[in-house]
Amino acid sequence: MPLRAVVRGAARALVLASSRLVPTAAPALGAVTAIGVVLAITATSPDARAKSAYESTYGYDRTWTAGLRLVRVDLALKVTEKDETNGYLLFDYKSSEGGSKAVPGSMEFIRSKDGSVKVLVQIPQMPRYHEQVLVDHLTRKLRAEYGDPPARRKQDPSGQPPPSDAGADGEP
């Protein structure tokens, strides 16, 4: 059952219960009901800090440079801060919907143990689809410049690296 339905049901139950109690308990239960309604609204409202993500198998260096070129060259956005070592890129995002006003945006590049890179795009003051458009642009750019994504490296469940191949001349 979705969270929204559960919270609404709980709020209805509180209101119904408060109407059946003695008048002296009504003010306290009214406060509890108000808190329940506030929690219901908070729990079901969309997250203002939405972000879009992409899992890149192209490796950190390729993904970082493609993301930087996308923002700086392709979209002609102003890069306000960048740090390749720590994997983040801050920029001023301008949209035709937002007029001439620039809003802050960010790209975060997170290395994983399997060699892939998770790219998080955030533009908090714009609708989520603006973030998704940037993610889609980056995906197309990586594919256009580097071809199909490399296959993911499979890791042995035991955590051990695969055994070395002795080759034709090696000892068995």
Q: Is residue 110 part of a domain?
A: yes
Q: Is the pLDDT at 149 greater than 80, yes or no?
A: yes
Q: Is residue 39 part of a domain?
A: yes
Token pair 């001439």: residue: 100
Residues 63 and 125 in one domain: yes
- Tell me whether residue 154 is in a domain: no
Per-residue pLDDT reduced to its tens digit, 75-131: 999 999 999 999 999 999 998 776 788 999 999 999 999 989 999 999 999 999 999
Residues 61 and 140 in one domain: yes
Q: Based on the fold, state whether residues 57 and 129 are members of the same structural domain.
A: yes
Domain annotation covers residue 127: yes
User: Residue 1: pLDDT band by 50, 70, 90 thresholds?
Assistant: low
Confidence bin at 161 (pLDDT 50/70/90): low
Shared-domain flag, residues 69 and 139: yes
* 51 contacts 118 by C-beta, under 8 angstroms: no
Among 12, 27, 44, the domain-final residue is 44
What's the rounded mean pLDDT across residues 48-63? 84
Check whether residue 31 and residue 60 sit in a common domain: no
Same domain, 95 and 68: yes
Q: How far is CA 154 from CA 62, 70, 106, 117, 147, in A?
A: 20, 30, 30, 15, 21
**pLDDT greater than 70 at residue 25:** no
**Claim to verify: residue 34 and residue 88 sit in the same structural domain:** no
Total structural domains within the chain: 2
Residue span of the structural domain in which 66 resides: 52-146
CA 98 to CA 104: how far, in whole Å? Answer: 12
Query: Can you give the pLDDT at residue 35?
Result: 55
Q: Quickly list H helices, 70-169.
A: 128-146
pLDDT at 163: 59
130: in domain? yes
Looking at the whole model, is its pTM more than 0.85?
A: no
In this structure, are strands 88-93 and 78-83 parallel, antiparallel, or unpaired?
antiparallel
- Work out the burial of residue 10: count CB atoms within 10 Å of its CB; fewer than 13 is exposed, 13-18 middle, 19 or more buried: middle
Query: Phi first, then psi: what are they for 94, rounded to 5°?
Result: -120, 135
Q: What is the CATH number of the domain that holds 66?
A: 3.30.310.80
